[in-house]
Amino acid sequence: MAWSIAEVVRMSGVTSRTLRYYDEIGLLPPAGFGSNGHRSYEEADLLRLQRILLMRELGLGLSEIRRVLDERTDPVSALREHHRRLCEERDRLDTLVSTVERTITELEEGKGDDDMAKISRPENLFEGLEHTAEEDAEVRERWPKAWEEARRSRETMTDADQEAWQREATAQMIRFAEFMVAGTPPDDPAVQAETAVHYQAICRFWTPNAEAYVGLGRIYVDDPRMRVNFDRVADGLAAYQRDAMVAYAEARLS
């Protein structure tokens, strides 16, 4: 079955101008053209359009969307990955909704004798809020060469590459945690050998000197969002890995 461009516009909410633009840039060519010269779309095209719109919702640019589509991933596998990311975004938005609702309640009900609102826990005001853009700008300003190297490296990674990298990063956190639980000092040769593996993994994106590598370790501890990822594996892991990185930088990078 085929659908006209007008029918696709009605079903998807995408304008005909956008569909024509997607055709012009090769992102969504129509299945064919009718005798009147109008575009027609088949089921595979509708599924492709759904993927495009899903990835747009996730914040991907058109060039990145094209790269993902060109990988020709199995449609069900691709949709599962989109579903996973959307669930993560839903959870983040649910957290933000709770944050705002809690703040409204405290502002309405928590007024003291001076008629000023009392916030019970100020840190709760920021739960669920992300500061990626600001942090990225800070890194770009402090280490512009490293930022550019990392950006170029990230652009070459496929979704499979990113998934494999994340799996290895998690496995390495567990290995560090095993050392920590066993009471192995951060400067122990075995821990330092694992830290060398960590450093080489970082070098895939950029090559930090001693100061930058120590700074990265401090971010693991000082950034609450980073620290919680480590401490979910084992309480105190962020500080332990930071100390291992400091020892490695002093011994191998200075």
- Please indicate, yes or no, whether the overall pTM of this predicted structure exceeds 0.75: no
pLDDT of residue 246: 96
In the predicted structure, residue 118 carries a pLDDT above the cut 60 = no
For the chain, the average pLDDT equals: 79
Q: Which one is predicted more confidently, 109 or 123?
A: 109
| pLDDT digits 0-9 by tens, 174-214 | 899 999 989 999 999 999 999 999 999 888 878 888 988 99
Looking at 42-46, 152-156, 228-232, which range is the least confident one?
152-156
pLDDT of residue 146: 63
Give mean pLDDT, residues 138-149.
60
In the predicted structure, residue 126 carries a pLDDT above the cut 80 = no
- What's the DSSP call for residue 111? B
In the predicted structure, residue 132 carries a pLDDT above the cut 70 = no
Share of the chain above pLDDT 70, in %: 76
In the predicted structure, residue 160 carries a pLDDT above the cut 80 = no
